[in-house]
């Protein structure tokens, strides 16, 4: 009796675009055309009963001859889509090697001149009580980066807060130091920051422009939406000021595209209208959305139905993205753009993001945190920039996340794109950053399926889009 054939459902996902059948191969994040023969074999195996090759041949008689069937089975077996006698390769989870640290986030001031109602920052203070980082801590952070990971060609310094521009004096000192230090070491350095825009003026904008800062502005949409939560310490909406400053910024900023970062909280699901305002009316080059689902302040978390509505709205905007991509235009919808980039590059993410691996965040005292969201949190730090990174503790944390044994992620079809989700969401939801984020897996899977279909459609009808807009991240 021949060996029993079975489908390894968690290694592939079928997509139909118009009449074209495609297989998304999960271990390699690659898309394959599924011809009629392989589609017929998969459909037949899906009926179950673990047939032998001979039995399967009988079931498919008249459609495939013996050698065609054998060829299809060999191909599918090499992709681990079909197994014989349950002999599919056992998933081996990677372990973390040397940390390729390239990015340090500096929390230059815990103070902020806004008082956004949903802010997650545990160390947030009003400007008068804000605690600023000193130059010695910033310098020690840069030295730690070079010491820990000396062989990189380029490094990134990200300024965060509170509101980072409330400590522009330190930013200028750090830029002066870093430009000299990295040049002397024969390396490149990039700067970026996320700002609420309120403190921007011509002088600051021109300064940031001359040092090619990557800028993301926190703004939640049109006035009625933005002013619900993004308020001053005195309780006034900040939209008018922010929109005016954004106008000034976009009229003068030349060195890099400027992005908007939108926080979606309870009661806010109209993704397309927000994108329209920020992209078409204010003129941002990119708009990215961060749905809040696991914040400490339950009043601001999107409810289950709202989360469904948010993903439906993201798909609606995604369909517009695809229509425009087919006309060779990019509409700067960052969430889909990033997903298409991951698919295009065949990303196999073992970890959800670079936090704790290629990036760490430093708090005002020099404590090392996984990312900017953890500074000031109760999660213990991973060493200090003065005494050194606690590499064993970081590796232990990352290895716990890398090991998917006994987690839903082990067989999830989007495991190499989602990789268990954001550590900070896990920390807020489960008090354990290594725990996968399980509360909207179905929506995430549906969103990734949508991305695969979008990718397949664009690659069929306008493949040049990827060369011009994805590889180079060019934004119209
Ligand atoms: S968190 Fe959920 S969606 Fe993400 S990989 Fe794990 S099981 Fe899949
Ligand atoms: S842990 Fe979450 S918030 Fe931090 S960098 Fe990763 S995805 Fe972003």
With 70 as the cut, is the pLDDT of residue 124 above it? no
pLDDT band at residue 443, thresholds of 50, 70 and 90? very high
More confident call, 429 vs 454: 454
Cβ contacts of 310 within 8 Å, gap of 6 or more: 264, 269, 271, 289, 291, 302
3-class SS of residue 88: coil
Q: Which fold has domain 103-383?
A: TIM Barrel (3.20.20)
Q: Check the CA dihedral 426-430-434-440 and report its sign.
A: negative
Other Cβ atoms within 10 Å of 328 Cβ, number: 12
Three-class SS state of 140: helix
Q: Of 412, 394, 396, 395, which is closest to residue 404 (Cα–Cα)?
A: 412
Instruction: Measure the CA–CA gap between 276 and 112, rounded to whole angstroms.
Output: 28
> String of b and e for 198-228 (b: at least 16 CB within 10 Å)?
bebeeebbeebbebebbbbbbbbbbeebbbb
Pocket (CB within 6 angstroms of ligand 1): 408-409, 412, 414-415, 418, 420-421, 436-438, 441, 444-445
Query: Comparing C-alpha atoms, which of 439, 440, 436 is closest to residue 403?
Result: 436
pLDDT at 284 over 70: yes
What does the alpha-carbon distance between residue 290 and residue 194 come to, in Å, rounded to a whole number? Answer: 14
- Ligand 1, atom 2, lies closest to the CA of 441
pLDDT of residue 293: 80
DSSP 255: S
Predicted TM-score (pTM) of the model is 0.86
Mention the CATH class of domain 5-84. Answer: alpha beta
Please, are residues 301 and 265 in contact by the beta-carbon 8 Å criterion? yes
DSSP H or E run through 459 = helix 441-461
| Short-list 179, 212, 148, 33, CA closest to 384 | 148
Domain boundaries, given as residue ranges, for the chain = 5-84, 103-383
Per-residue confidence (pLDDT) for residue 16, from 0 to 100: 81
Residue 474: the pLDDT is 39
Q: How far is the CA of 340 from the centre of ligand 1 (A)?
A: 18
**From the DSSP assignment, how many helices (H) and strands (E) are in the chain?**
16, 15
* CA of residue 372 to ligand 2 center, whole Å: 8
Query: Is residue 176 scored above 70 in pLDDT?
Result: yes
b/e for 145-165, b at 16 or more Cβ within 10 A?
bbebbeebeebbbbbbbbbbb
Helical axes 239-252 vs 202-210, angle rounded to 10° = 50
Q: Ligand 2 centroid vs 218 CA: distance in angstroms?
A: 16
| pLDDT, position 473 | 45
pLDDT at 175: 98
* pLDDT of amino acid 475: 35
Q: pLDDT tens-digit profile of 398-440?
A: 988 888 888 888 888 888 888 888 999 889 888 899 888 887 8
Q: Which atom of ligand 2 is nearest to the CA of 422?
A: 2
Q: What is the CA radius of gyration of the chain?
A: 25
Q: Compute the distance between CA of residue 223 and CA of residue 159 in angstroms, rounded to an integer.
A: 27
Average pLDDT, the chain: 89
Residue nearest atom 1 of ligand 1, based on CA coordinates? 420
Question: Are the C-beta atoms of residues 284 and 243 closer than 8 Å to each other?
Answer: no
Give the separation between CA 208 and CA 191, rounded to whole angstroms. Answer: 9
397 φ/ψ angles, rounded to the nearest 5 degrees: -60, -50
Which span out of 8-12, 289-293, 358-362 was modeled with the highest average pLDDT?
358-362
pLDDT digits (tens, 9 = 90+) for 307-362: 999 999 999 999 999 999 999 999 999 999 999 998 888 777 788 889 999 999 99
Separation of alpha carbons 272 and 317, rounded Å = 6
Residue 107 has pLDDT above 80, yes or no: yes
Instruction: Return the percentage of the chain with pLDDT > 90, whole number.
Output: 51
Q: 356 C-alpha vs ligand 1 centroid, how far in Å? A: 20
In tens, the pLDDT along 390-403 reads 999 999 999 888 88
CA distance 351 to 279: 31
From atom 8 of ligand 2, which residue's Cα is the shortest distance away?
422
For 21-77, how does the pLDDT look when each residue is reduced to its tens digit (9 = 90+)?
888 888 887 788 888 888 889 988 988 778 888 888 988 888 888 888 888 899 888
pLDDT tens, 149-164?
A: 999 999 999 999 889 9
């Amino acid at each position: 009796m021949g060996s029993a054939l079975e489908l390894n459902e968690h290694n592939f996902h079928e997509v139909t675009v118009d009449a074209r059948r495609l297989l998304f191969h999960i271990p390699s994040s690659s898309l394959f055309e599924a011809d009629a023969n392989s589609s017929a074999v998969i459909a037949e195996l899906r009926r179950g009963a673990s047939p032998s090759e001979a039995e399967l041949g009988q079931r498919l008689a008249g459609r495939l001859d013996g050698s065609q069937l054998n060829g299809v089975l060999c191909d599918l077996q090499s992709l681990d889509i079909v197994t014989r006698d349950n002999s599919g390769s056992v998933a081996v989870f990677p372990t973390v090697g040397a940390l390729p640290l390239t990015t340090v986030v500096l929390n230059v001031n815990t103070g902020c001149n806004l008082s956004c109602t949903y802010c997650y920052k545990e160390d947030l203070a009003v400007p008068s009580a804000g605690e600023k980082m000193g130059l010695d801590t910033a310098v020690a952070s840069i030295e730690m980066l070079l010491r820990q990971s000396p062989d990189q060609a380029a490094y990134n310094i990200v300024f965060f807060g509170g509101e980072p521009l409330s400590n522009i004096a330190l930013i200028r000192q750090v830029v002066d130091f870093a430009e000299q230090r990295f040049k002397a070491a024969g390396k490149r350095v990039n700067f970026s920051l996320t700002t609420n825009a309120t403190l921007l003026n011509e002088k600051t904008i021109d300064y940031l422009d001359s040092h090619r800062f990557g800028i993301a502005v926190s703004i939640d949409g049109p006035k009625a939406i933005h002013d619900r939560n993004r308020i001053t310490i005195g309780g006034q909406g900040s939209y008018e000021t922010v929109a005016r400053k954004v106008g000034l910024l976009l009229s003068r900023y030349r060195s890099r595209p400027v992005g908007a970062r939108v926080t979606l909280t309870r009661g806010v699901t109209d993704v397309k209208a927000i994108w329209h305002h920020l992209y078409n009316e204010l003129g941002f080059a990119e708009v990215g959305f961060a749905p809040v689902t696991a914040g400490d302040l339950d009043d601001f978390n999107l409810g289950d139905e709202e989360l469904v509505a948010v993903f439906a709205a993201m798909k609606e905007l995604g369909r517009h993205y695809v229509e425009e991509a087919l006309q060779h235009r990019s509409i700067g919808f960052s969430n889909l753009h990033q997903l298409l980039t991951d698919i295009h590059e065949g990303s196999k993410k073992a970890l959800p993001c670079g936090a704790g691996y290629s990036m760490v965040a430093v708090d005002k005292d020099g404590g090392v945190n996984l990312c900017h969201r953890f500074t000031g949190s109760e999660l213990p730090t991973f060493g200090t920039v003065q005494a050194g990174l606690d590499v064993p503790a970081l590796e232990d944390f990352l290895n716990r996340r890398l090991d998917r044994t006994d987690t839903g992620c082990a067989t999830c079809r989007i495991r190499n794109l989602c990789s268990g989700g954001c550590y900070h969401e896990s920390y807020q939801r489960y008090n354990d950053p290594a725990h996968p984020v399980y509360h909207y897996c179905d929506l995430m899977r549906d969103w990734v399926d949508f991305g695969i279909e979008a990718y397949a459609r664009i690659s069929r009808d306008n493949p040049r889009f990827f060369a011009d807009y994805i590889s180079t991240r060019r934004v119209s």
